Amino acid sequence: DGGITQSPKYLFRKEGQNVTLSCEQNLNHDAMYWYRQDPGQGLRLIYYSQIVNDFQKGDIAEGYSVSREKKESFPLTVTSAQKNPTAFYLCASSISHGTNTEAFFGQGTRLTVV
């Protein structure tokens, strides 16, 4: 079955440590996205990638980094520079980055900094 997979579902991190969230898709989609969701709020774009080896900053990229070495994979690293990293992180993909593009989401990773 085609889909988009995020792992792990729950992640605990000590303050000052970097952590990498995994996102893999087998939908053959060109575009991939990382969003952050805080309680009672909408989704805020961290980074997006339209094609392999290319990615762009979203609205809240500070303290995060990404790579897109393969079409299927778009990992997100939450660095120690991110001041408030505890949140629900959602990865999504779409056929292309443009109009009328339905986004397919992974099940999310809930990151807690302890």
Least CB distance to other proteins at residue 54 (A): 15
The answer to the question of residue 15 lying near other proteins (CB under 8 A) is: no
Q: What is the dihedral of CA 80, 84, 86, 90, to 10 degrees?
A: -90
Identified binder of other proteins from the candidate list 2, 15, 42, 83, rule CB under 8 A: 42
CA distance linking residue 17 with residue 78, whole number of Å: 9
Q: Which residues pair with 6 in a beta bridge?
A: 23
Contact 73, 93 (CB under 8 A): no
Identified binder of other proteins from the candidate list 13, 22, 30, 45, rule CB under 8 A: 45
Least CB distance to other proteins at residue 107 (A): 5
The answer to the question of residue 107 lying near other proteins (CB under 8 A) is: yes
Strand order across the 19-25 sheet: 4-7, 19-25, 76-78, 64-66
Least CB distance to other proteins at residue 20 (A): 20
Which pairs with CB-CB distance under 8 Å and at least 24 residues apart come from 54-57?
none
Stretch that binds other proteins, among 17-25, 68-76, 77-85, 105-113 (CB under 8 A): 105-113
Identified binder of other proteins from the candidate list 41, 53, 62, 81, rule CB under 8 A: 41
Residues near other proteins (CB under 8 A) are 40-45, 48, 58, 90, 97-100, 102-108
